[in-house]
Amino acid sequence: MRVYLAGPEVFLADRDDIAEAKKAICAEYGMIGVFPTDPAPGALPANTDWMRIYLGNEAHIHGCNALIANLTPFRGASADPGTAYELGFMRALGRPVLGYSNAAGNFTTRSLSHLHGAVHRRASGAWEDSDGMEVEDFGLTDNLMLDGGIAAAGGILVVNPVAEAARWRDLTGFTRCVAHLAGITK
């Protein structure tokens, strides 16, 4: 069982340490964790760094049996869009997808907070931002496509708020995902 470890930790200076910590947890459960920055499985037909990274991640996802996404909000109310892309990609392959967030609050409250009160109510009662865009209000963890994909796949989305300073390194929620995955794929 190979598990793709999606998330914005690739942007941390100590990402290799996070990658090793996540892989160690996977190993405890008899799984092989695959981090986006791991060497790609084979030569890639790309002539730019970013395209090599893209194709490497695609190849990694194709080569994994499941995906665990770090959906902790990234510079705003939502998860990193690269992680959202990878989550959708793996869901389309029909393989298990799971997620976790280390932040408190649901998508609605975080969106309202992010908009700093620059919202008003439509006649329907729905919140709308200054661009006239509705604020999604289902009380979910993130945009319904992210929550829905995990639910449709029978996965779990663990919300485990931690202190701000530990937000990108706490692996409690991640560990719960790995344990859940180990349970359903035994």
Q: Could you list the residues that contact its own copies (CB under 8 A)? A: 8, 11-13, 48-51, 53-55, 57-58, 61, 74-82, 84-93, 111, 114-115, 122, 128-129, 131-136, 138, 140, 142-149, 151-152, 167-168
* Contact call for residues 155 and 97 (beta carbons, < 8 A): yes
State the nearest-atom distance from the C-beta of 28 to its own copies, in Å: 27
State the nearest-atom distance from the C-beta of 20 to its own copies, in Å: 17
Tokens (6 digits) for 40: 């790609």
Of 41 and 76, CB closest to its own copies:
76
- What string of DSSP letters covers 158-170? EE----GGGTTT-
Question: What are φ and ψ of residue 37, in 5° steps?
Answer: -85, 0
Of 26 and 112, CB closest to its own copies:
112
Cα–Cα distance measured from residue 119 to residue 105, given in angstroms and rounded to the nearest whole number: 18
Of 8 and 96, CB closest to its own copies:
8
Which single residue is written with the structure tokens 């359903």? 184
